[in-house]
């Protein structure tokens, strides 16, 4: 559905327009919220951030009637700002300033070397390439399930499939991914 079609639907019936807008951009907004809140919030916090984002989007669109701008940019900006606000609220307040003479400076040094970080980065990139080679919607299902920790019920809503279909695709995708990873020389320990 294009932005023009969404604008037209919202002019004819605001309720249906909001529903259509949510259906089209829900996955996009969820990905932004989950990415920004990764490591500091729960899935409930992400869902709440998603809801607050769409509430802010609807308020913005109500106050800017008749606009013909690109919705994705507007929605993305509102989602990022809302998620950053949530991140600030959820992140623990810590003092990040440390004196050089402090004994805790040794805690700031990393135990892993640059080589290990580079290996991990290359491994992540190779795994992501294998996941992306599965194609849509399988790659999205794998990413939503393993990276964002979403339940198959939630994924089904985002990709437009039934819960059972998502479970079946997830099972098949795991098998394909195992073959792709072993073909790329990737085991549970890393590269061979």
pLDDT score of 95: 47
What pLDDT digit, counting tens, does each position of 59-110 carry? 988 887 666 668 888 888 999 999 999 988 888 754 455 555 555 555 555 5
CA-to-CA dists, residue 84 to 50, 75, 150, angstroms: 12, 14, 21
What pLDDT digit, counting tens, does each position of 141-166 carry? 888 888 878 888 888 888 888 999 99
List, in order of start, the domains of the chain with CATH numbers. Answer: 3-90 (1.10.1740.10), 115-185 (1.10.10.10)
Residue 31's nearest CA partner among 69, 73, 80, 94 is 80
Q: Which carries the bigger pLDDT value, residue 185 or residue 113?
A: 185
**Residue 113 confidence (pLDDT) above 70:** no
Full DSSP string of 126-179: HHHHHHHTT-TTHHHHHIIIIIS---HHHHHHHHT--HHHHHHHHHHHHHHHHH
């Amino acid at each position: 559905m294009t932005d023009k079609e969404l604008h037209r639907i919202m002019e004819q019936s605001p309720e249906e327009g909001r529903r259509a807008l949510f259906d089209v951009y829900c996955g996009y907004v969820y990905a932004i919220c989950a990415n920004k809140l990764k490591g500091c919030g729960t899935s409930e916090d992400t869902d709440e951030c998603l809801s607050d984002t769409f509430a802010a989007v609807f308020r913005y669109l109500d106050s800017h009637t008749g606009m013909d701008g690109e919705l994705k940019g507007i929605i993305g900006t509102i989602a990022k700002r809302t998620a950053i606000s949530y991140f600030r609220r959820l992140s623990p307040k810590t003092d990040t300033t440390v004196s050089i003479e402090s004994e805790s400076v040794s805690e700031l040094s990393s135990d892993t070397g640059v080589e290990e970080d580079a290996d991990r980065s290359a491994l992540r990139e190779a795994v992501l390439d294998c996941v992306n080679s599965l194609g849509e919607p399988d790659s999205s299902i794998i990413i939503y399930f393993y990276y964002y920790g979403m339940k198959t019920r939630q994924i089904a809503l985002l990709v437009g499939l039934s819960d059972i279909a998502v479970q079946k695709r997830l099972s098949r995708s795991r098998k394909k991914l195992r073959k792709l990873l072993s073909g790329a020389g990737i085991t549970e320990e890393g590269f061979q």
